[in-house]
Amino acid sequence: MTTGPHILVIEARFYDEIADDLLKGTLAALTAAGATSEVVTVPGILELPLAAQFAFSKGAVHPDRGYDGFVVLGCAVKGETDHYEHVCEQSMSGVQRVALDLLVPVGNGILTCPTWELAQNRANPAEGDAGGRAAKACLRLIELKQNFGL
């Protein structure tokens, strides 16, 4: 019996309403594809890369429950200072670095939005479905990795 991929979902809960929608879309897409998942939570998007690094470091994952890929979820909404730009850049580049350094498929569901309304629309599974799209991206990269024999 073949089982679907097992995905680690790492969610940043800084904005609970946005996080709830992102997670809902992600889990729906993974379930529809026959994938299983585990969810871990971090405070904000800056913590996403290190949580992924912990999960995929050598020996960190139990051999019978290894992850085939990961999805990161979170949101930054632009404020009045330049903190937003730094947080967005560092979280995005950190997630990408983990994926590239460790050759782990990732679906990036980090929203970086100039307004709260845009973040809500992009996170909502019935509208932008950023979480569902991130899950589908991860699943596609898993498929590609397998096609290349990795």
In this structure, what CATH number is given to the domain that contains residue 68?
Answer: 3.40.50.960
- Nearest-angstrom CA–CA distance, 121 and 146: 34
Residue 111 in domain: yes
CA–chain centroid gap for 101, Å, is 17
pLDDT(14) > 90: yes
Residue 1 in domain: no
Total structural domains within the chain: 1
Confidence of residue 65 (pLDDT cuts 50, 70, 90): low
Confidence of residue 1 (pLDDT cuts 50, 70, 90): very low
Give pLDDT, residue 3: 81
Residue 80 in domain: yes
Among 6, 62, 83, 86, the active-site one is 83
Range of the domain at 101: 6-147
- Nearest-angstrom CA–CA distance, 21 and 17: 7
Residue 67 in domain: yes
Residue 95 in domain: yes
Closest CA to 23 of 124, 136, 141: 124
Residue 20 in domain: yes
Other Cβ atoms closer than 10 A to 144: 11
Confidence of residue 80 (pLDDT cuts 50, 70, 90): confident
Give pLDDT, residue 57: 82
Confidence of residue 2 (pLDDT cuts 50, 70, 90): low
Tell me if residue 86 is catalytic.
no
Cα atoms found within 13 Å of the Cα of residue 87, Cβ hemisphere only: 22
